[in-house]
Structures are given as structure tokens and as C-alpha cells.
Amino acid sequence: MIGMLQRQEVDVGTGPYKITYERSTAIDLTYPYLISVVRIFAGRGRGEVDPWSFLFPLTPLVWGITLTALLALITVITLLTLYLPHARRTRQLINAGNIIRVPLQQDVGESAEWWWWERVLMGVWMLTTLVLTRSYTGNLMALLAVRYIPQPLQSLQDLVDNPVKVMIIKGTAQQQAFETANGGVLRDVWELQGEGRLMLLDRFNMPDVNMLLRTGGTAYMTYGVVARPLMIADFSSTGRCDFYLGREEILPSMGAMAGPRDSPFIAAFSRRIIEVTEAGLYDFWDRTYNPNYTSCLHVSTKITVRSSLGIVNLWVDSW
């Protein structure tokens, strides 16, 4: 399109054309009517139950401390039996077994010959275990009822670090920004070509972007004004928000109409564009043209499960 303007085959291009220095040397651009940023457009994950979620209610540190305390109590009681008469050692070793029975919520053998320090030790251990087990079961129930929807691609660094493919439209200002970057994360994204992870798509022969994103493992680098209609159309047809936009905003740019060099239309169009944007008409038209405008902009990443338990849930519960 810029070539057609440069060759004066057309009088005006509605755009939006992203304003760059290279383009300004070839064509004339009007006053900008759009400010947009490039964001990551990707498919939302599915809420799934992790078979190892029975480990999640407690952090590794708590698991480690609990196991250490259990082994320490058993060791202390076992060592103390060395200072008792032989007739009492057998009974004392049974009490060491009771230390293990408490966190398993099994009955504790009664003995009228327990010493006072044994009763205190067992009482403190029972109280500690009660708090721990109640916290564990409560958190486990929450993990089974509430599932998190993963949205791992929030920044350019996430694209580099995760084994995903990145799609960029050829011949755009964003491709030029990545290609000409001398370093940093922009250059890292461009060098993904060497790993076969950067896909330069032809605008006129684009595959079904929604299908590629829905299958996972692919991200689309595009402007918000391009991604938003895709999200809206998908929500209008399915009633679900299957896609999300990454938080990081990069390559902010202004969009404008364009014409050949020294075109008399540019000044007239610029004057009217200023009037339209200052009156808020452009934003109004944008929202009117895109129904369900805000439906998928701030979707919760947590869902509450109200369905029956499946095999995976029962497998987790059995632990």
C-alpha cells in the first residue's frame, strides 16, 4: 500500500499506517488518530487438576520441617530408652511408634506407666499435628475446587524462555523493529528464527490464527487494535474467553492516514482528524463497531469447579 502511495497510483490510504521515520521519507502522513502498542496474543490454558496437587497445600519448607520434627521426636525417645531399665525399653519403643501414628490419624496406645514428660511431649505433638492436618485438608479442598487458568506469556522475555512459536506479520513496522534491534530482548526474539520458533506470516495468506493459538504452543505478536476484534469475534460466537493479551506493552506507535508526497489532501484530512479525535468520536465508533468490547479484557484466572469428581480427582483424594 505504501508503494502504491509512493508511485501515486492512489490519492489516499486510510490506514492506519504506523508512523516511522522510513515511511515519513517516502509518503506524507496525516495527524495521528490512533495510538497503539504491540502485545502478546495467546490462547488461555485449561483448568486441569494436577495429579500431584496433594503436595501443594504445604510448601517444601513446611514438608521438610514436619519430617525433621517427626524424625527428631523418634530419635529423642529412642535415645532416652538407653537410660531406662530393660523392662521399660520395650514399652518406650511403642511410644516412639505412637509418634508416627498421630499424623496418620490413628489411635494411640494407652499406657498407665507414661512419664509426665511423655504426656507433655505427646500432647504438644498432637496439637501441632492437629493444626497441620486441618490446614492441609482445607487447602487441599480449595485446590480441588478452584483451578487456575495458566497465562504464562506476559512479556517478551517469557517468549524467549518458553518453548513457544512466535508469529509476526511480514512487512510491518513491528518486524522492522525486531529486525533492526541491536541487542536486548527485541533482538533475542528476532534470533528465534535460528531455532525455528519465529514465523513470518504473509498477511494475505495467513493461516487460521485462532486455531493455531487454541492448540497451544504459539503466540501472536500484534497490535491491540488487531487482537481485540479477534477476541470479540471469538467471544461472540462461543461465549467464552479463550484468548488473552499479555501485560507487557512494547513498540508504542501512532497510526495515521497517508497520501503521496506533497498531497493537498493531507492538511485537510489532518484538520478533520483532530476535530474527530478531540470530540471522542473515534473511540465511540470503535466501541460501537466492536460489541462485547470489554468482555474479555479482565477475565479471572481462577474458576470454581462444580462438577462431579473424576478419576484424577479421586486419585488425588485417595492420598
Strands 146-148 and 243-245, sheet pairing? unpaired
Cα distances (Å, whole numbers) of residue 313 to 6, 48, 89, 318: 63, 10, 44, 9
Q: What are residue 93's DSSP bridge partners? A: none
pLDDT at 84: 62
pLDDT at 316: 45
Q: Residues, the chain, total?
A: 319
pLDDT at 9: 92
- C-alpha cell read off for 240: 467464552
pLDDT at 318: 41
pLDDT at 154: 85
Query: Which phi-psi region, left, alpha or beta, contains residue 297 (left: φ > 0; alpha: ψ -120 to 50)?
Result: alpha
Strands 165-169 and 28-29, sheet pairing? unpaired
Q: How many CB atoms lie within 10 A of CB 171?
A: 11
Regions of the chain with pLDDT less than 70: 45-54, 80-96, 108-115, 117, 142-148, 203-208, 210, 293, 300-319
> Peptide bond before 163: cis, by omega within 30 degrees of 0?
no
pLDDT at 259: 92
pLDDT at 11: 92
pLDDT at 257: 92
CB-CB contact of 305 with 147 (8 Å): yes
pLDDT at 47: 60
pLDDT at 260: 92
pLDDT at 137: 79
